[in-house]
Structure 1
Amino acid sequence: MTNGNSPPALVIFDCDGVLVDTEMAINEVMSANLARYGLQLTPAACLALFKGGRMTDAMTQSRKMGAALPDSWIDEIYEEMHARLEAGVAAVEGIHEVIGRLDQRGIDLCVASNGSEKKMSISLGHAGLWDRFQDVLFSAHTHGVAKPDPGLFQLAAERFGVAAGHCVVVEDSVPGVRAARAAAMPCYGYAEHDDGKDLSVAGAEVFRNMRILPGLLGI
């Protein structure tokens, strides 16, 4: 997918579900919280509905589905999620080796996420990745632009001085894939827990084992 199968100059990673295995933990919190407000959804259903989106959109959608959420709900759900992440989450299997390979080749790396910097600091910290990425984070909360808008990816490319065609995005959500496509950046869709059909339809090249990513990138 990269130009002439040559390695990219910049790899932009999503955070949750790509660098850190947080998705089920976060959606268990979401499921339990929404149940208190009258909306019964399994963690898997929460993941399917809200994956990769903004919390404001999750709030709007949950209210439409019958949840009696207070106006302070976003602060509440983030507090509960942060407490769960503080209990510990693991890095995605194989990601440390992948980062090591990319660093050896001198390829720039960064993170672009719809999540807050606080959330990323907790999850990346527990996964042993905070030191590597703390200075190259692009958060929708900080920059005021969220996927599927391409703005976060464009900011990252501008920061590193890399043209869109020489970037690669690694995502696990449809909004993230759509953002990459809107930014004219090749995108790999990581689908560890399903067939990744939704990612493929959105325009990503799907893979299911993180350890094969360097080969996909021509390394």
Structure 2
Amino acid sequence: MSGAARSGPATGRLAGPAPALVVFDCDGVLVDSEPISLAVTLDMLAEAGLPMTPREGYDQLLGRSLTTIATWAEEEHGVTLTQDHLSAMRSRLIARFREELRPVPGVAEAVGALPWPVCVASSSQPDRIRLSLELAGLLPLFEPHIFSASMVSRGKPAPDLFLHAAAQMGAPAEACVVIEDSPAGIAAARAAGMRVIGFTGGAHAGPANLAEAVANSAPDAIISAMADLPACLGTGG
């Protein structure tokens, strides 16, 4: 989706009215999971016959559900990811999360400072989202308002997940603001008719060339630290 109709993304306060709902992606926004997830995914793809470099992985896979990745591997490369592959990946990922997963710095304070309803809308499976939030100490901030791509027919970059989250939360799409770190997620938010803030402060920002990738996706605003989120949304926190 082209950003030609919009001016360049702001780095300060998000333009427009206060949101009725703030929708957070999980991986790379709430929890610093992307380097772990990518390493496990690349191992699985290599075992299935599709080796990729980390940069290729970030360019092609960031923000996409495992189902979407499996479809992409089949359609674009003729590589089939079996249920054994997917089960092994989930097991490895959970084991590494339990050892290594941390929250994005400052995110609990930033979310706690927001006066509006919040929810999570992630490409991951529901049990993985909840585990990630629990391990990072963030689950009480969002439970039970957690939505997964498994609840809709199409994952990001389609708008389905964000529209589902807004409907479940009783918020008009145009009154929602999404916090996203991936081009696929930003495209999904824009396709849903929502404003979107690009976040470039995750641990994967450097290896993924995230600042450029997010800017090229034309979000409405960009922040590089979660501490800046309340002010970007128009509250002093």
Output the TM-score relative to the length of structure 2: 0.81
Judged with a 3 Å threshold, the aligned counterparts in structure 2 of structure 1 residues 148 and 115 are, in CA distance, closer, same or farther, namely same
State the AA in 2 paired with 1:208. Answer: S
CA 1:217–1:41 in structure 2 vs 1: closer, same or farther (change >3 Å)?
Answer: same
| 1:141 CA drift (Å) | 1.0
* Residue in 2 that maps onto 1:138: 147
Q: 140, 148, 156: which one pairs with 1:147? A: 156
Consecutive unaligned residues in structure 1, runs of 5 or more: none
Corresponding residue number in structure 1 for 2:64: 53
One-letter amino acid of the counterpart of residue 29, structure 1 = V
Aligned to 2:105: 93
Q: In the alignment, is the contact (CA less than 8 A) between 2:50 and 2:79 conserved in 1?
A: yes
Aligned to 1:33: 44
2:122 partner letter: S
Greater mean deviation of Cα atoms: 51-60 or 178-187? 51-60
- Preserved contact between residue 33 and residue 102 of structure 2 (Cα < 8 Å): yes
Contact 1:88 1:123 in 2 (8 A): no
73, 79, 85: which one pairs with 1:73? 85
Aligned residue pairs total: 214
Q: Which amino acid aligns with 2:87?
A: D
1:116, 1:142 within 8 Å by CA — same for their partners in 2?
no
User: Quick one: which of 168, 176, 199 aligns to 2:214?
Assistant: 199
For residues 100 and 69 of structure 1, the distance between their equivalents in structure 2, rounded to whole angstroms, comes to 40
Residue in 2 aligned with 1:10?
21
Is residue 22 of structure 1 aligned with residue 27 of structure 2? no
Return the offset for 1:174. 1.1
Report Cα offsets for 1:80-122 as digits up to 9, x if no partner: 22222222411101101101111xx2x1000001110111111
1:116-195 paired onto structure 2 within 5 Å: 116-192=125-201, 193=205, 194-195=209-210
Q: Which piece of structure 1 moves more, 195-204 or 48-57? A: 195-204
Show structure 2 runs of 5+ residues with no match. 1-13
The aligned amino acid for 1:118 is D
- Comparing 120-129 with 155-164, greater Cα deviation is found at 155-164
Alignment partner of 1:208 out of 214, 224, 228? 224
1:12 deviates by: 0.2
> SS state of the match for residue 111, structure 1?
strand
Over the residues paired in the alignment, what is the CA RMSD in angstroms?
Answer: 2.1
1:42 aligns with 2:53: yes
Percent identity between matched residues is 35
Take 1:70 and 1:161, find their aligned partners in 2: how far apart are those partners?
38
Deviation at 1:68, TM superposition (A): 6.5
TM-score, normalization by structure 1: 0.87
- The 2-side partners of 1:71 and 1:99 are apart by 36
Task: Give 1:195 deviation, angstroms.
Answer: 4.9
Gap change, CA 1:56 and 1:157, over 3 Å in 2:
closer
Checking the alignment, whether the CA contact within 8 Å between 1:95 and 1:211 is kept in structure 2 is yes
3-state DSSP of counterpart to 1:17: coil
1:2, CA displacement in angstroms?
Answer: 4.0
Provide Cα deviations, 1:30-68, integer angstroms capped at 9, x if missing partner: 222333334333334322221111323322444554756
Q: Which whole-Å deviations, capped at 9, do the CAs of 1:101-157 have from their partners, x for residues lacking one?
A: 11xx2x100000111011111111110011222200111113344222212212222
Q: Are the aligned partners of 2:23 and 2:178 in contact in 1 as well (CA < 8 Å)?
A: yes
